[in-house]
Amino acid sequence: MLLEIQSSTADTSKAISGGLEEARTSAAQIKKVGEVFVSVVKAVEGVSTQIEEVSAATEELSASTEEVSATMNEMVSTSRHSLEEMRHISKGASEQHAAMEEISASSESLSRMAAELQELVAKVKLS
């Protein structure tokens, strides 16, 4: 019975370790996506600025330029919103990672306790 518990605990520990690695990989990917969104926001803001300069120089095209500018501003807003969502996801992944670390530590503690219990049972049987 103890061997089954110890084996099950070891299997759980392995599964948790795999989950931790997946969480780390996900957190790294989310961070990269966040960095890309920051770059996109900066690029979109730069384009928006250029559009505003062209609008001032060409008043006869102001109606079209205003429409394009509004679209770009909407894209900036959408990109910012997406960036915030990515940050939220990253925070969640970090929290999940911390929880997985805690579960892993608990699993290792249970494994040690099972081994100690097994030793005590062996001593009792010898007595």
What's the pLDDT score for residue 127? Answer: 64
**Total domain count for the chain?**
1
Rounded-to-integer distance, Cα 117 and Cα 66, Å? 75
What's the pLDDT score for residue 77? Answer: 93
> Which among 96, 102, 117, 81 has a CA at the least distance from the CA of 1?
117
Using alpha carbons only, what angle is made at residue 39 by residues 41 and 64, rounded to the nearest 5 degrees?
40
Rounded mean pLDDT of the chain? 82
Of 3-12, 20-29, 51-60, 103-112, least confident by mean pLDDT is: 3-12
When computed from its CA atoms, the radius of gyration of the chain, rounded to whole angstroms, is: 28
Rounded-to-integer distance, Cα 42 and Cα 46, Å? 6
Band (81; pLDDT cuts 50, 70, 90): very high
Q: Does position 61 have pLDDT exceeding 70, yes or no?
A: no
Q: Does position 69 have pLDDT exceeding 80, yes or no?
A: yes
Per the structure, the complete domain to which residue 40 belongs is given by 2-126
Whole-structure pTM over 0.85, yes or no? no
What's the pLDDT score for residue 10? Answer: 67
Q: Does position 14 have pLDDT exceeding 90, yes or no?
A: no
